[in-house]
Amino acid sequence: TTRYRIALIPGDGIGAEVLPPACAVLDAVGKRHGLTFTYDSFDWSCERYAAEGAMMPADGLDRIRHHDAVLLGAVGWPGVPDHVSLWGLLIPIRRQFRQYVNLRPIKVLEGVPSPLAKATSDVDFVVVRENVEGEYSEIGGRLGRGFPDEMAIQQSVFTRPGVERILDYAFTTAQRRSGDVVSATKSNGIIHTMPFWDELVKEAGDRFPDVTWRQEHIDALVAKVVLDPSRFDVIVGSNLFGDILSDLAAAVAGSIGIAPAANLNPERDHPSMFEPVHGSAPDIAGQGVANPLGAIWSASMMLDHLGHPEAGAEVLDSFASVLATTDVRTRDLGGTAGTKDFTNLVLEGIAGR
Ligand code: NAD
Ligand code: IPM
Ligand code: MN
């Protein structure tokens, strides 16, 4: 049997409610494929911040550096400013572990209605989000606090190697899919970084002559994702554009509660991190009603990354078949099932295979 050590960071709110289902599914599928998972759980969270003044210990990253992967629930809770909690935990992991790809697949699944009448199972695309630079940067500052002309300046950072590697990832992904890339841009309004991004997209297009590509302005693009989501296969975007696109696309596919994310370090010199797209959902936390599918699907992406795509596919099949053959649903999908009820059905499906 193959053993993996997984670092678990439940974080805040429903993060702690959706990770146990993901681990239970991993254990069940692992058993069938000769995979054993050992979990080390870390209590890094806003609760820890309140008690100790930091989201994680000073050597936090060293404690998880040698794990095979990280599974994270969600970070952020009222009372701690979001930029403090996120820049104290989630964002440093992405950046220091060079997880420069944030891969976010979107599928309209059988049995999960899209709010869009036109969206059917032919909606199947991925958002490839740049995950360590772009609009998310520490460069800038607040000036003149308290003065009438007070201001804040926030610099975006787009480096040639940083943009080239995310574009290479997107074009390579397209080669394995239907061979089409759409680049999200805003070069009509943002006059330094976005024209540079567009130039590098054109260069990438030249490097991958077998892939077709076009660019669309992010404002028009989001409208098209709503009006005709089946047109898309791979959408590549900067950190901020990819963030916004992925929640929009998750809603198009039925619920933010389903959407998964893989923060990938393609060079594999540090662990990659898997987490649902959604946040800590303070409005429903503690009630046992969160949809566990975003976390479970993220765990399936972890199996793919660890080199077990057949096990990953089995996770997808097992929850897809619960959705297709029963009407048991969590609240976000219009049902009354709790997190555990739904998870148990998925586990029964795996046991019965
Ligand atoms: P959110 O994703 O937490 O919630 C948005 C809405 O979706 C809420 O109504 C919530 O109830 C619902 N929802 C989310 N996940 C669900 C699930 N699994 N099942 C059912 N319903 C679900 O976004 P928000 O309200 O903008 O953010 C809340 C906190 O989470 C903030 O502190 C934010 O910074 C943080 N956040 C963290 C991450 C992350 O850790 N990756 C991602 C997004 C937001
Ligand atoms: C996500 C989240 C984070 C992001 C926030 C919480 C910093 O929205 O993972 O999509 O913007 O990356
Ligand atoms: Mn987001």
247 as an active site residue: the answer is yes
* Long-range Cβ contacts of 306-310 (<8 Å, 24+ apart): 306/4, 306/68, 306/69, 308/33, 308/35, 310/33
Range of the domain at 345: 1-100+259-353
Does residue 53 fall inside a structural domain?
Answer: yes
Query: Of the candidates 202, 231, 253, which is a domain's last residue?
Result: 253
Please tell me the number of the ligand nearest to residue 135's CA: 2
- The alpha carbon of 277 and the centre of ligand 3 are apart by a number of angstroms equal to 6
62 as an active site residue: the answer is no
Spatial contact of 74 and 90, defined as CB atoms under 8 Å apart: no
Does residue 106 fall inside a structural domain?
Answer: no
Residue 244 CB-half CA count within 13 A? 14
pLDDT given for residue 118 in this prediction: 79
Task: Specify whether 244 is located in the same domain as 124.
Answer: yes
pLDDT in tens, 182-218: 999 999 999 999 999 999 999 999 999 999 999 999 9
The dihedral region occupied by 70, where left means phi > 0, alpha psi between -120 and 50, and beta the remainder, is beta
Cα 307 to Cα 32: distance, rounded to the nearest angstrom: 15
Cα 246 to Cα 136: distance, rounded to the nearest angstrom: 16
Task: Specify whether 321 is located in the same domain as 204.
Answer: no
Query: Of the candidates 253, 283, 306, which is a domain's last residue?
Result: 253
Q: What is the pTM of this model?
A: 0.98
pLDDT in tens, 79-111: 999 999 999 999 999 999 999 999 999 999 999
Task: Specify whether 121 is located in the same domain as 248.
Answer: yes
Q: Which residues line ligand 2 (CB under 6 A)?
A: 76, 86, 243, 277, 279
**Does ipTM surpass 0.90 in this model?**
yes
pLDDT in tens, 310-347: 999 999 999 999 999 999 999 999 999 999 999 999 99
Work out the angle at residue 238's Cα, subtended by the Cα atoms of residues 232 and 239, and round it to the nearest 5 degrees: 115
Spatial contact of 289 and 339, defined as CB atoms under 8 Å apart: yes
pLDDT at residue 117 greater than cutoff 90: no
Most distant CA pair in the chain: distance in Å?
A: 67
Query: Of the candidates 253, 287, 310, which is a domain's last residue?
Result: 253
Task: Specify whether 123 is located in the same domain as 212.
Answer: yes
12 as an active site residue: the answer is no
- Tell the burial category of 85 from Cβ atoms under 10 Å away from its Cβ (0-12, 13-18, 19+): buried
332 as an active site residue: the answer is no
What integer is the mean pLDDT of 1-21? 97
Q: Could you identify the atom of ligand 2 that is nearest to the CA of residue 247? A: 10
Tell me, using a 6 A CB cutoff, whether residue 74 lines ligand 1: yes
Task: Specify whether 168 is located in the same domain as 217.
Answer: yes
What integer is the mean pLDDT of 268-273? 98
Task: Specify whether 211 is located in the same domain as 119.
Answer: yes
**Could you write out the three-class secondary structure of 16-29?**
HHHHHHHHHHHHHH
Please tell me the number of the ligand nearest to residue 337's CA: 1
CATH code of residue 264: 3.40.718.10
Q: Which residue among 186, 233, 304, 332 is the active-site one?
A: 186
Task: Give the mean pLDDT of the chain.
Answer: 97
Spatial contact of 83 and 104, defined as CB atoms under 8 Å apart: no
Identify the CA nearest to 322 among candidates 299, 276, 353, 298.
Answer: 353
Task: Specify whether 58 is located in the same domain as 83.
Answer: yes
What would you report as the CA-atom Rg of the chain, rounded to the nearest whole angstrom?
A: 20
Domain count, the chain: 2
Task: Specify whether 263 is located in the same domain as 245.
Answer: no
Task: Specify whether 216 is located in the same domain as 310.
Answer: no
Does residue 143 fall inside a structural domain?
Answer: yes
Q: Which protein residue has the closest C-alpha to ligand 2 atom 6?
A: 86
- Tell the burial category of 152 from Cβ atoms under 10 Å away from its Cβ (0-12, 13-18, 19+): exposed
Task: Specify whether 58 is located in the same domain as 141.
Answer: no
